Amino acid sequence: MVKAKLIHHQLLVVDDLEKARDFFGRILGITEIKRPNTGRAGLWFGCLSNELHISVRTGIKGGRTGMSLQPNERPEKEGRHVAFTMDGSLDDIAKHLEVEGVPYVRGTAGLPQIFCEDPAGNLIELNTGWKQETIG
Amino acid sequence: MVRAKHIHHMNIVVNDLEKARDFYGRILGLPAIKRPNIAQPGLWFGCEANELHISFRQELKGGRTNLSLHGQERGKEGRHVAFTMDGSLDDIATHLEAESVPYVRGTAGLPQIFCEDPSGNFIELNTGWYQAPLSS
């Protein structure tokens, strides 16, 4: 039977490769991995069983969006996001983002979440993790 | 040190929860997981170490887009979530044809098929690969 066995990667589109490398590689501390020659500009990271793929597109609006950082207050599909579970407490994460000058908000859904944007305006969640049971 | 230890979930926004349940739950075969009582409607799936979160947004324009299914031709909408599937690329293609889901095969030399979910979110189905960290 054809079914999904794991989430392989999330791909995000950015306007600036070096800013993405700094944000995901240095600030979030994930590991860059080898990227095959796909004929297009990009950057791949590994994060345990997943990869994060970054593709560069010219001609897109770059930079942080200025939208609310609360997912449910962002228009259209812009509340979509990738969530990373971090080492450290929510306060540690908040302090880390303050030191790096990254604007953030704490989530309002009762979950241990902080939301921010990457330098290209993609919404990113940083959390301290949880595990839900399968239904039925 | 505050750093990302794993990707926790990917969140996407849809305008029809039942169509999303059918696509991710039945067609891709992901198990639904318990979702805490947060104010906004949605749906959570588990996929090995990750979760897939679906958020409902009523005002969103629904349905598949008219965009190309080749990521490099979609601007910022080239962003996607990729699932590694059981079965070969041909099996995946046959499965999508049986479900009448439009798809294309990737052109980057990787074992990839691209399609959209019923709300127009760009989705990759692949047969998996592993890249080594750059430092090793």
Q: What is the CATH number of the domain that holds B114?
A: 3.10.180.10
H helices of A15-136, in order, are 17-20, 90-99
Residues of chain A with C-beta less than 8 angstroms from the C-beta of B82 = 7-11, 53
Q: Name residues 56-95 of chain A within 8 A of B (Cβ).
A: 57, 59-60, 71-72, 76-88, 92-93, 95
User: Which one is the CATH code of A9-127: 3.10.180.10, 3.20.20.70, 3.30.70.20, 3.10.580.10?
Assistant: 3.10.180.10
The model carries a pTM of 0.94
How far is A80 from chain B, CA to nearest CA, in Å?
Answer: 5
- Asked whether B55 and B43 are in contact (CB, 8 A), the reply is no
Residue B1 lies inside a defined structural domain of this protein: no
pLDDT tens digit string along A53-103? 999 998 888 899 999 999 999 999 999 999 999 999 999 999 999 999 999
Tell me, yes or no, whether B2 lies in a domain.
Answer: no
- Best residue in A16, A80, A81, A85 for a mutation probing chain B (most B CBs within 10 Å): A80
Residue B3 lies in a domain: no
Instruction: Write out the residue range of the structural domain in which residue B30 sits.
Output: 9-126
Q: Distances in Å between the alpha carbon of A32 and those of A134, B49, B59? A: 32, 20, 38
Domain for residue B38, yes or no? yes
Digit-coded pLDDT (tens) for A104-136: 999 998 899 999 999 999 999 999 998 778 886
Q: Name chain B contacts of A78, Cβ cutoff 8 Å.
A: 13
Question: Does B98 contact chain A (CB < 8 Å)?
Answer: no
Look at chain B and report how many structural domains it folds into.
Answer: 1
Instruction: Let me know if residue B85 belongs to a domain.
Output: yes
**pLDDT tier at B94, thresholds 50, 70, 90:** very high
A20: left (phi over 0), alpha (psi -120 to 50) or beta: alpha
Q: Is B131 within the bounds of a domain?
A: no
Provide the number of CB pairs (under 8 Å) joining chain A to chain B. Answer: 235
- Residue holding tokens 């969530």? A83
